[in-house]
Amino acid sequence: MAKRTAEAPRPVTMKELKDTLWKAADKLRGSMEASDYKDVILGLVFLKYVSDSFEERRDLIRAEMEAEGGYDDEDIAVTQEEHEEYTGAGVFWVPPRARWPFLATRAKGEGEKTIGELINEAMGGLMNANPALTGTLPRIYNRDGVDQRRLGELLDLFNSARFTGEGATKARDLLGEVYEYFLGKFASAEGKRGGEFYTPPGVVRVLVEMLEPSKGRIYDPCCGSGGMFVQAEKFLEAHHQNRSDLSVYGQENMERTWRMAKMNLAIHGINGNLGSTWGDTFARDLHPGLEADFVLANPPFNIKDWARRDDDARWRFGVPPAGNANYAWIQHIVSKLAPNGQAGIVMANGSMGTNSGGEGQIRANLVEADLVSAMVALPTQLFRSTGIPVCLWILAKNKKWANDRRGEVLFIDARNLGFMVDRAERALSDDDIAKIADTYRSWRQGRYADEPGFSFSATVAQVKEADYALTPGRYVGTPESEDDGEPIDGKVQRLAAGLVAALDESARMDAIVRQQLARL
């Protein structure tokens, strides 16, 4: 057996890794459109990850075989049984010509084929060897717009990073974090279009922490790059629960975004059903008959051109207007809920009080059906891709929990939470997320008390009195002011003295103005 003489590259720190990869993205930024170089970079990140993970698994198998007496075959895993030594451990089988060392030594394109052609072949070979990746990986590396010299330099940069660590789980987590970082960076770079595939992690975490998805079926009808599923998986891991307890279902309308989601789930070891292809949820539901225990969704806001049919069975609470799909998304999600299902939906603030196109009546019907569990008003500027203020709709088919909340709605006004990351973007801190989620959790469990200015538990009758408006600010009131110990009489005297002083100053300024006018 040929033994390795070179020491494997040491794992770099996360900051070094991110800096290296973003530098790699810059290599092609000048010669490609944002959406194209996003596909190129994310595809290479994925290819590097599966190759490093494959080599890590191969080294482990070699060590085990050597301990049992050795072997002669340098390139193991040539039979179906040996192939399963990889796939059974959650590692993709990587054909020889798709492995990173093979590509790295040919990065300069000195052979008969360009490096772009070789990468395209690698992507095809990887998909052929792993049916779960069919139709997922980009094969765009030899297009006219891809600078082959820069692509080779990009491979050299990637060659300095090794996505492995303490076992396959560590490697997956490392690459998963890099992938999420890149999604965020690309979303910022693409502005409004970035919102098509990316929801800020803080917003997703609020939904996940409120709903606490732990077991059953989880669904996202407009899944973007799969961020909702990734955060749900992280929630399970943080609570030491088995990731396989959740079955993932999703649908995405944009081809490129659907591919990103498939890669994202694969990187995180999530075996999700995103349909056999991409497609419009309204025009063709790829998961008919699904009853989801949890739905997490960030639908595109205020869509005016959508596949609307008046006779759609999903419109149990009223036909949504042709000019806005917000209530179509809400009703589609309700139609997918199991008898005890819950949903968390990111919506534009306008959805909480609009009465146009029959939306007010639909909202009233949802409230009267006792489907609305909680409403959360979020701070502005959480989404770099849009200036539209957003809120969270929390729906529940059955509110008979440890503390029976049937006939009630919790309102949370979180508009004053968060901190500015920069001049254009706000983020929610861990404490902010915990405050919102803990308030909802305590409400469900019977440990809740209204907090003036932040939260209020209203009855359906109270919501009806407010004409079914669901804006938290109408219910929570104003924060209680702290008692500073000053007697009321003292406050009155101080305010009166201030008023007298203000009037005196106003009279003085008035006299000065009159003098100036007289001189003129």
Which CATH number is 132's domain given? 1.20.1260.30
Q: Which residues contact 35 (CB under 8 A, 6 or more apart)?
A: 190, 193, 256
Tokens, residue 479: 């924060």
Same domain, 228 and 155: no
Distance CA 295, CA 344 (A): 6
Same domain, 123 and 25: yes
Distance CA 487, CA 128 (A): 80
The predicted pLDDT at position 3 comes to 40
Residue 519 in any domain: the answer is no
In the chain, how many domains are there?
2
Among 410, 429, 406, smallest CA distance to 418 is for: 429
Which residues, in sequence order, are bridge partners of residue 346?
A: 392
The predicted pLDDT at position 355 comes to 95
Same domain, 180 and 204: no
Same domain, 431 and 411: yes
Average pLDDT, the chain: 85
Residue 173 in any domain: the answer is yes
What single-letter DSSP state applies at residue 8? P
Same domain, 124 and 271: no
Report which of residues 519 and 271 the model is more confident about. Answer: 271
Distance CA 447, CA 444 (A): 8
Same domain, 163 and 294: no
Distance CA 320, CA 470 (A): 18
Range of the domain at 289: 197-476
Identify the domain boundary among 145, 164, 185: 185
Among 229, 196, 232, smallest CA distance to 213 is for: 232
Residue 499 in any domain: the answer is no
Same domain, 179 and 125: yes
Residue 495 in any domain: the answer is no
Residue 422 in any domain: the answer is yes
Record the pTM: 0.82
Identify the domain boundary among 476, 496, 511: 476
Q: How many residues does the chain have?
A: 520
Residue 57 in any domain: the answer is yes
Confidence of residue 49 (pLDDT cuts 50, 70, 90): confident
Same domain, 227 and 175: no
Q: What is the pLDDT of residues 400-451, one digit of tens each?
A: 998 999 999 999 999 999 999 888 889 999 999 999 999 999 999 989 999 9
Which CATH number is 279's domain given? 3.40.50.150
Residue 491 exposure: Cα atoms within 13 Å on the Cβ side: 6
